[in-house]
Structure 1
Amino acid sequence: MASFGLELSLRVRNVAPNEAATGIRAVIYRLQESDNNYVEIAQTETAFEQTNVTFQHRCPLTYRFDKLERLKISVYCVKDGSGIFSHRIGEVYTDVATIISKGTSISLPLSPTAAIDLYITIPGFYTHYVKLKFCGNHLQVHDQLPIAAYMIFVLKTDNHTILLYKSELMNFEGKRVHDKMSVDLESMELVQGESFFNAIKEGTSLHLTTAIDLSASNGNPNQPGSLHYIHPHTQSPYYNVMLRLTPLFLSYMANSRIGALGFGARVQPRFELSQCFALVSTFISISCTFLLCIK
């Protein structure tokens, strides 16, 4: 899953004058999932004698769609410019996905009178794309290979090779060439395109549908090792997966209801699903129709 570098900036409003006089500072914490504790990742500068403060310090964040990235922001009153916190004005909890889904900014109550505004800055280069044009010269076709060929563009990492692009088929019409083979880069152009962040900011909503394989080959519902194991005091594997994945989508969903489908095994001769049905109603939705088309 790709990671994106973002920046978080803060603005505090309506701080009490007596607290603003001695100075206020904000501390940003991130939830560490391994031990479920919040770890400090940044502090702002101290602002003096300002009841409405826009902090200049920006906190770098790493965003991944498959991570909730829970945040806690605490605002403190500083004691007489010494840098020591005298007391906490208030604190808020949120996550990066919620801020992005709200158009990259959100306002939250900090205390009975004060509020805090959170802003996410997304670098513009995430909408940049490189358009490459290649040309193959004297591509050799061996007897044991098909005459039609194509070019692929891959990205190699430490552990994986990722296919980025596959060209159309090129027909050599049976010709054999013996000149030196080459693949030349004819042009490279930086173009502007869409991004996930732009789509969400423009109002795109996601909908989550869970499809459960009810094939008998997945095991007996009475056996603890089975995917279909059912017990009143034990959560099933399906339930555990839904609990783990659903919170990642909720911020981007206009409707928090989750679609649930059941389907049977693929059967010959066309290896289509033997059945597909909605688990939450008797209505066969378009999601069922789509799932039936999966080979």
Structure 2
Amino acid sequence: MFALEKPAGQPATGRSGGFPNMASVGDFNVLSSSIPATKVELSVSCRNLLDRDTFSKSDPICVLYTQAIGNKEWREFGRTEVIDNTLNPDFVRKFIMDYFFEERENLRFDFYDVDSKSPNLSKHDFLGQMFCTLGEIVGSQGSRLEKSIVGIPGKKCGTVIVTAEELGCCRDSVLMQFCANKLDKKDFFGKSDPFLVFHRSNEDGSFTICHKTEVIKNTLNPVWQAFKISVRALCNGDYDRTIKVEVYDWDRDGSHDFIGEFTTSYRELSRGQSQFNVYEVSTVTLLSFLIETEVSFLDYIKGGTQINFTVAIDFTASNGNPSQPTSLHYMNPYQLNAYGMALKAVGEIIQDYDSDKMFPALGFGARLPPDGRVSHEFALNGNPQNPYCHGIDGVMEAYYRSLKSVQLYGPTNFAPVINHVARYAASVKDGSQYFVLLIITDGVISDMAQTKESIVNASRLPMSIIIVGVGPAEFDAMEELDGDVVRISSRGKFAERDIVQFVPFRDYIDRSGNHVLSMARLAKDVLAEIPEQFLSYMRVRGIKPSPAPPPYTPPIHVLQTQI
């Protein structure tokens, strides 16, 4: 129906070279593959469209456009059918889109009154357009967004209603177990040490690795442990997409010997196809195939869970005098500084999931007027009783005002702002709210022990922490806070969950000077872990999503023509 944009796949690994990075086959992380969080189906309805026909009503069509990351060019994604003679169309044809929480996916809906069978839109009357993001639709109550149609000066163009529905196949996981018989003997002094490697095919014919089993030592008849994999990771929700399974003999030096391979599909596996020939008499057998449907991040959002965003900005003296161009806080009239770029990159995505768009904005490491006391937890708007700013633009304004009124000082303490957000998170444990704290800093942390303790305590609460390092400093100590390698601990207690993501902003700066692309790259990386951190809290606490509001059911209009 529509030409979907799919993430480009990685080229298949050649057999001759083996897997150079596979000295340990247990280190593969499915979450690092570039696959969408899920797919959503968009339904479009309009009310009170402009009437462009003289003797009847308009014959409307909706055309959806998308923007690539860092590119302002709009590309047509797809079209609905045409509905004759109505100003209140409820289009039957849907738009199916990949959804990423961590990306700002800009959308434009254009509406036309169709006057002929020509597919050329310039031949038809323009009825207006609506701009939004996919996150804005998903984050609206009931995943239903209603906005005014604009684009024709002096005219009321009506309203558009866009509803998002998560496709069920993307919420499924499958539990599979395989064994093999009579595999080829590859080891000189033993049998073989076999393992399986699963790949999903991409639209360009290449393959992307999506799972590795464990190695079974010294056997030609291995039985591998059952493993669970999401359907979207296995086949991107396409039941007929080719799945390639390779069998290797593990070698310590990483030059694993190829034994054989077979291809199948999710549909074939689910129908009970159980035995596959891989080499001469060698076979691989599917022992079990069990489908499990899991609750998703979008289930909670649709049920009304709010994502509360707080920002904390480093006002220590090591940033440099804000009036000097060398300062990381320098207010260039022509472009955002690094603090502003990090704030907008993350905030503009998260704000779609907060209905009131009111965000607490804090600073730390400055001397405050009038007495010059040092604070590590002050409101950027100057109001400690109400530190909320309206929207990300309001946070930016408060940040710029603070630069003119406070004195940069020190040291760099994180614990006070972490504890500030934790106090609020501790009061909401029913799953109705989740808190994300963004800390933007230029320097090495001064209160490491206190910060570790605060993070360990916060790991039991509904919150995540993003730390963005700006400037040229060495941030080695920060990696310790990001518990991806070693789970953070304090006083012998380990964090219940990994809730911290640290990145240095310099790694995301586009060399061509494209700041939009820099910000998009940053947001993609720092926000990618939030849905899983969110779900890990809900699972540990046994919190189920609230029921979604009843679906919107527009009156039925007859489908008549297509373009």
* TM-score higher than 0.5: yes
Instruction: Give the 3-state SS of the residue equivalent to 2:131 in structure 1.
Output: strand
Q: Does the residue aligned with 1:117 lie in a helix, a strand or coil?
A: strand
Q: How does 1:120-139 map to 2 (within 5 A)?
A: 120-131=164-175
**Structure 2: runs of 5 or more not aligned:** 1-33, 150-154, 179-196, 201-205, 227-286, 366-373, 386-415, 426-450, 456-487, 489-563
1:119 to 147, 163, 182: 163
Q: Which has the higher strand share?
A: 1
Structure 1 position 71 matched with structure 2 position 107? yes
Q: Which has the higher helix share?
A: 2
Distance 1:87 1:213, change over 3 A: same
CA distance in 2, matches of 1:55, 1:192: 29
**Residue 107 of structure 1: how far off its partner (Å):** 2.2
Structure 1 vs Structure 2: percent identity of aligned residues?
19
Q: Name the residue aligned to 2:46.
A: 12
- TM-aligned CA deviation for residue 125 of structure 1: 2.3
Aligned to 2:129: 91
| Number of matched pairs | 254
Q: 1:53 and 2:100 equivalent?
A: no
Amino acid at match of 2:139: S
**Which residue identity is paired with 2:103?**
K
Shift in Å at residue 87 of structure 1? 2.0
Q: CA-to-partner distance for each residue in 1:142-186, whole Å, 9 max, x for gaps?
A: xxxxxxxxxxxx99999x99999xxxxxxxxxxxxx997965438
1:108-159 CA-partner distances (Å, limit 9, x unpaired): 233626322212231012332345799xxxxxxxxxxxxxxxxxxx99999x
Q: Which of 396, 417, 421 is the matching residue for 1:287?
A: 421
Residue of structure 2 equivalent to 1:106:
145
**Structure 1 alignment gaps of length 5 or more:** 135-153, 165-177, 265-274
1:225 Cα deviation from its structure 2 partner: 9.8
Change in Cα spacing, 1:57 to 1:255, as seen in structure 2 (3 Å) is closer
CA contact (8 A) 2:51 2:58 kept: no
Cα separation, 2, equivalents of 1:107 and 1:255: 16
Asked whether the 8 Å contact 1:26–1:76 carries over to 2, the reply is yes
1:263 Cα deviation after fit:
6.5
- In the alignment, the residues of structure 2 paired with residue 22 and residue 81 of structure 1 have an alpha-carbon distance, to the nearest angstrom, of 15
Distance 2:60 2:174 in 1: 45
The answer for the alignment partner of 1:257 in structure 2 is 358
Question: Secondary structure at 1:251's aligned position in 2?
Answer: helix
1:144 matched to which residue of 2? none
Q: Deviations over 1:77-103 (max 9, x none)?
A: 122455563321121111111111122
- The aligned runs of 1:213-232 (5 Å cut-off) are 219=318, 221-222=320-321, 229-232=328-331
The 8 Å contact of residues 50 and 127 in structure 2, kept in 1 or not, is answered as: no
The Cα shift of 1:277 comes to 3.1
1: CA distance between counterparts of 2:109 and 2:131? 7
Q: Distance in 2 between matches of 1:237 and 1:113?
A: 40
Amino acid at match of 1:287: V
**What's the CA shift for 1:258?**
3.2
The code of the aligned residue for 1:61 comes to: M
Change beyond 3 A, Cα 1:131–1:276: farther
User: How much does 1:55 deviate?
Assistant: 2.0
| Alpha-carbon distance, 1:51 to partner | 3.2
Whether the 8 Å contact between 1:16 and 1:51 is mirrored in structure 2 is yes
Instruction: Sort the Cα spacing of 1:155 and 1:239 in 2 relative to 1 into closer, same or farther, 3 A.
Output: farther
Asked whether the 8 Å contact 1:133–1:188 carries over to 2, the reply is yes
In 1, distance between residues paired with 2:351 and 2:162? 19
Q: Does 1:28 align with 2:64?
A: yes
Assess, with a 3 A threshold, how the Cα gap between structure 1 residues 38 and 230 changes in structure 2: closer, same or farther. Answer: same
- The SS at the match of 1:206 is strand
CA distance in 2, matches of 1:255, 1:115: 21
SS in structure 2 of the partner of residue 240 of structure 1: helix
Report the Cα distance in structure 2 between the residues aligned to 1:92 and 1:64, rounded to whole angstroms. 21
Over 3 Å counting, the alpha-carbon distance change for 1:215 and 1:116 in structure 2 is: closer
CA pair 221-156 structure 1, distance change in 2 beyond 3 A: farther
Cα 1:122–1:179, aligned 2, differ >3 Å: closer, same or farther?
closer
Q: Are the equivalent residues in 2 in contact too, given 1:24–1:76 (CA < 8 A)?
A: yes
Letter in 1 for 2:378: L
**CA separation of 1:22 and 1:195: change in aligned 2, threshold 3 A:** closer
8 Å CA contact 2:319–2:329 kept in 1: the answer is no
Q: Is the CA contact 1:207–1:255 (under 8 Å) kept in the aligned structure 2?
A: no
In structure 2, what is the equivalent of residue 62 of structure 1?
98
Change (3 A) 1:89 1:66: same
